[in-house]
Structure 1
Amino acid sequence: MGIGRTWTPDDISYLEDNWGAVSIKHIAKKLGRTVNAVKLKSQRIGLGDPTLHYEGITISQLMKALDKSYSSVYVWIRKYGMPVKEKLFAQAMRVKVISYDDFWKWAEQHKELLNFAKMEQGILGPEPEWAKVKRSADQLRSQKTWQSVAWSEAEDQQLRQLVKLSGMTYPRLAAHFNRTEASIKRRLYDLNIKFRPERLNNHIKYTAEETEQLVSMARQGYGYETIARKLGKSALGVRGKLERMGFDFKRREFKKAVGE
């Protein structure tokens, strides 16, 4: 079937246009050639792996891009409805894939499952604007060096001195030591330091502008520590405000309409 037949410019053009978009078997049938003949021609003109020419990504490639295990992605498929499909690239090469368009539509509805901090920009095709914002938020949320770095003696000594200063607050101490307010609170307790920072008045009502920014940043994925610094509030106060507004910290969304 078509063995030794010369490839016309139209044949080659069809092969190049459809390589990775449809199965090799389909291409062979369309051109009246054998599967082996199509594979050989693709190698000669440098088309490479057909899965890399698909307008989307295989699940294996997605795992590497997002630094996730197969079990994690499997949960996304089974529990959260990630719209993957099985695609036949060759006679015995059936692979789970997802188109870029389908991935981004699904991802927008499941932002809480994804962390773009380490994901290379553009690796999953053109990104929507919300993904760029979330990457920035995830990168800030990932900068948690305070969780893994032990307090030094010099830092302990500084903490003992700074906590006694007039006007010293938890947010100011957190910013100085690049740690969370909760971390500062724990360290004061661990060192048996009786002095406590001055507390911000969290009962001061938020302005309409502050509430709008709070809602926007929370939805975009920013942590309450970052939001607090932006608004000049305490992190614990921001968290309390979001809880009272019905914010779901896992899904990064409000349980009822806010500011619509």
Structure 2
Amino acid sequence: MKYAPEDIQLIKEQLGSHSLSTIARRLNRSMTALEVKITRLGLSHTKSYTGMITAGELARILKIDRNSVMQWILNHELDSQQRITRNKKKFTFINIDDFWAWAKSNRHKIDFSKLELDELPPEPEWVAEERKIAKQVTNYKAWTKQEEKLVLEWHCCGKTLAEIANMLGRTRESIRKKIKRLTE
């Protein structure tokens, strides 16, 4: 049975957001027939079809833990999309251009000196300068009891968030949150 143009359009629209079994059921086709059609259309590889990278691939490229990337998505507004591949397995995909836009305003979270040249094209011009700076990135670093004590002590003495952050090698935002948690 031949696929109508609207059937092909439905496949293109729903591939990645619905499982193949759901799409096959909507088209009244078998899973095997749908898989063959998707392969013939050149849509069988979700990653290449979307032009995005997975959160795990981004973590590997940046030489960080995948959980750090997931925290950027959950807590720091890095745009991503959940896509279903083949049956029901979900992946988190990130558009490379969206990542670079986010990275520009979140430079302090990334050690660009670990990033290989053109590993994540198209690489913006500002990355070359950032790559020269080896950073001690402390994202999600556990707090010690001594650090917590110092934060409260310095805060009570009138030191600014910037001063405390500089002394502990952390961000002002992390200092603000820690003070809030410790004083509540």
Range into which the TM-score falls when normalised by the shorter chain: 0.5 to 0.7
Counterpart in the other structure of 1:94: 90
1:78 to 74, 79, 85: 74
Q: How many corresponding residue pairs?
A: 142
- Measured in 2, the distance between the counterparts of 1:30 and 1:133 equals 52
Say whether residues 1:64 and 2:60 are aligned partners.
yes
C-alpha contact 2:55 2:93 (8 A) present in aligned 1: yes
C-alpha contact 1:19 1:53 (8 A) present in aligned 2: no
Counterpart in the other structure of 1:109: 105
Decide whether aligned partners of structure 1 residues 101 and 91 sit closer, same or farther in structure 2, where only a CA change above 3 A counts. Answer: same
2:122 to 119, 126, 137: 126
Counterpart in the other structure of 2:177: none
Local SS of the residue matching 1:101: helix
How far apart are residue 103 of structure 1 and its match?
1.2
Local SS of the residue matching 1:117: helix
C-alpha contact 1:112 1:250 (8 A) present in aligned 2: no
- Measured in 2, the distance between the counterparts of 1:19 and 1:132 equals 39
Structure 2 stretches lacking a partner, 5+ long: 136-161, 172-184
Decide whether aligned partners of structure 1 residues 100 and 39 sit closer, same or farther in structure 2, where only a CA change above 3 A counts. Answer: same
Identity among equivalent positions (%) equals 25
TM-score by length of 1: 0.41
C-alpha contact 1:76 1:82 (8 A) present in aligned 2: yes
CA-atom RMSD in angstroms: 4.1
> 1:207-226, aligned counterparts within 5 Å?
none
Counterpart in the other structure of 1:158: none
Say whether residues 1:49 and 2:42 are aligned partners.
no
Local SS of the residue matching 1:94: strand
Moved more, 111-120 or 34-43: 34-43
2:35 to 26, 34, 39: 39
- Which amino acid is 2:72 matched to? W
- Measured in 1, the distance between the counterparts of 2:32 and 2:23 equals 11
Higher helix share: 2
Decide whether aligned partners of structure 1 residues 43 and 74 sit closer, same or farther in structure 2, where only a CA change above 3 A counts. Answer: same
1:59-117 Cα deviation digits (max 9, x unpaired) = 11111111111232233233323223322234402211222232112111110111223
- Measured in 1, the distance between the counterparts of 2:116 and 2:14 equals 25
Local SS of the residue matching 1:53: helix
Decide whether aligned partners of structure 1 residues 85 and 7 sit closer, same or farther in structure 2, where only a CA change above 3 A counts. Answer: closer
TM-score by length of 2: 0.54
